Structure 1
């Protein structure tokens, strides 16, 4: 495999030209040469190409026996495949055909192993080794770990290799890198770093590598976290990094006027400019379900009682419409009475009450409602522990 150095602007350069560089700077040619030197040493173990893997499969079928779509091969045939492969690929192929490796596969009564499983092993090993080489190229300190910034550089370096990401604009590339690595860090990160050995066989990295397949269908791209379609496609149940940041800020400062506006737009389901008892009921219904089935609390908690408590807490200005005048038709009375219980909580009501934080918390998080519902007991516990 031909090796070459890459400048930060993407142009190739002669590795030997920088051999006498005395002082290395971040991303200097010397560091890049050292990176390529490490890759050269690692590549002493052969990386099998797709064509070479196909040739090995052809030889396995020739030396083995195929039954019901599965090829099985004994050790004699296995050894003959090694001889033929050595003629084609050289002695570097030997580690793939050791006797100890053959014995690791399950054998039938005839001493045969599944050639299909063996080829899957070769594919997996090649993929893992390729991943290790690519990831290690960004481990400039040879620590065995990648920082968040190095992961972002790695992900961005793959853009040119992935057809599905080819339309990323330069001004969006840094943003894409920050979003993409969040999943790698979520599953494998610790203190802002990820161990390379945890990534080489990671299903998350496999998801990223799947984008290199230019035959992916639209639905496959949409379901892939690393796809540009996911990052740009607006969806009701998705939030990008900036939206998530806004959410965290609003949640941590729930009583702030900016947070009131943020959450009010969510709770005002009908976009009428106020929150009605029906909307409070809708949100707390989900909390009530978790209260019973997750927190294992008492099921006789009345949702309507909580709705009334929220209204008493906020004390909205528009709480009840006037009672109908005497002599109104019965139908009119029914309509008015129904309207009478329809309070209207506005952003101003929440700001004046000073209870917006508790209001939004108890209707959004079952743990927050638990703390609110048992607030007196929790206060006594704190007093007892402090005495």
Structure 2
């Protein structure tokens, strides 16, 4: 019996090899019969162009240097293709020359015929903007002659030039050259951008690290939902966050505008100051007990427990980056990314749904807050029915993240479950409405 086993194994391997060869032979015959071509030879393989270029590794210094120089040369070439200030002024003069009367309320227009004439007289760099599709997009809807507002077209060109200039500037920090920035790349970009922002002229050097961290987190919180550790340059430009940051170049900015701008010195100091106030033991980290004082201390215990279960912590304590994500979620509850962050915390089972049992768990904690504050709590069934009526989920038995986003009331529902202040505001909304002055009295 001991000698029979190897023979059986050998016979099995031999049969399998024969079967594979027969299968390959039949496949080749049928493939050629149906119009296929013979496999390419080694010589033909060598003639094929290379479609994928591997990014050099950290220790490959020469390939890295070559890649950096090639990218810098390309970006410099693209930069020279952009319209300069003198060329933009010349473009404005050309558009004024070919304006098509009549003017309407002082607004100057241009017809498509004159638009084409202006394209011929404009500088070669500007010709790429004089396309039929661009004209069609900018046609004024109320103009019977289907003309384009000259100022609208000029602003369009200015915006395109600015976008291209900004993309070139950001691409210099794209180390891999693959169209995205890692966290360290974006940090370097913002760090070198700070001196050009006059509203940050009073930024202390000791606070720069925290400011850069605060600014970078907003980009990654909203533009890196999969937590890949990188954001696409196109997403950075399209998000409008960079526009908000570059507004800090303007010297004439109101205090209200600065307070509402996440990237302002005032806003960064407000957030960092709140972090320091919560950090009672001054160890640079926040415990669950310390975070419980966030806002006015109105967050429920069940929610705080889940925050420290789901968020990345160090020995059970939250660092500044995790705190920034928390603040961004709490201050932007209407945004899908914030709802996704908070939904993950509420989703106790990790099943992607909030059912009656989950809602009951968080409401019990809210009820404790209400009783401690001396308030009566409504029946859970009433609250649950109200939540499901607001959401109108696809499945009547549970609520998904998509349901929360689609209903447009996700921020209200989240507040009902985690924040005593939000719960009170919702329950007393009718009283607040009656206190508002009537339109006839205004």
Tell me the TM-score normalised to structure 1 length: 0.54
Post-superposition shift, 1:159? 0.6
SS at match of 2:108: strand
Q: 1:376 maps to what in 2? A: none
SS at match of 1:70: coil
Q: 1:151 aligns with which of 186, 191, 200?
A: 186
**Distance of 1:186 and 1:290 partners within structure 2:** 36
Correspondences of 1:26-65 after superposition (within 5 Å)? 33-49=69-85, 52-64=87-99, 65=101
Structure 2 residues not aligned, in runs of 5+: 1-58, 299-367, 388-414, 421-442
Post-superposition shift, 1:84? 3.7
Give the aligned length: 258
Q: 1:125 maps to what in 2? A: 160
Deviations 1:123-179 (Å, cap 9, x if unpaired)? 221222122112111101111111111111111111111111122232322221111
Correspondences of 1:52-91 after superposition (within 5 Å)? 52-64=87-99, 65=101, 66-86=103-123, 91=124
Post-superposition shift, 1:101? 2.9
Post-superposition shift, 1:241? 8.6
**Closer, same or farther in 2 for the Cα pair 1:266/1:216, shift >3 Å?**
closer
Q: 1:188 maps to what in 2? A: 223
SS at match of 2:287: helix
Post-superposition shift, 1:203? 1.6
**Distance of 1:130 and 1:283 partners within structure 2:** 57
Residue 170 (structure 1) aligned with residue 205 (structure 2): yes
**Distance of 1:125 and 1:265 partners within structure 2:** 42
**Distance of 2:295 and 2:110 partners within structure 1:** 66
Deviations 1:228-272 (Å, cap 9, x if unpaired)? 12122479xx73499599999533xxxxxxx3796599659xxxx
Structure 1 residues not aligned, in runs of 5+: 1-21, 252-258, 269-278, 299-363, 370-387
SS at match of 2:252: coil
SS at match of 1:194: strand
**Closer, same or farther in 2 for the Cα pair 1:365/1:283, shift >3 Å?**
farther
Tell me the TM-score normalised to structure 2 length: 0.48
SS at match of 1:158: helix
SS at match of 2:154: helix
Q: 2:240 aligns with which of 203, 223, 229?
A: 203
SS at match of 2:238: coil
Post-superposition shift, 1:225? 0.8
Q: 2:350 maps to what in 1? A: none
CA contact (8 A) 1:164 1:212 kept: yes
**Closer, same or farther in 2 for the Cα pair 1:131/1:261, shift >3 Å?**
closer
Residue 102 (structure 1) aligned with residue 122 (structure 2): no
Q: 1:228 aligns with which of 265, 279, 291?
A: 265
**Distance of 1:93 and 1:48 partners within structure 2:** 10
Q: 1:366 aligns with which of 404, 411, 417?
A: 417
Q: 1:138 aligns with which of 173, 180, 201?
A: 173
CA contact (8 A) 2:278 2:293 kept: no
**Distance of 1:156 and 1:224 partners within structure 2:** 18
CA contact (8 A) 1:35 1:140 kept: no
CA contact (8 A) 1:287 1:365 kept: no
Deviations 1:280-311 (Å, cap 9, x if unpaired)? 5587589958968864469xxxxxxxxxxxxx
Give RMSD over aligned pairs.
Answer: 4.4
Post-superposition shift, 1:96? 1.5
Q: 2:251 aligns with which of 214, 222, 232?
A: 214
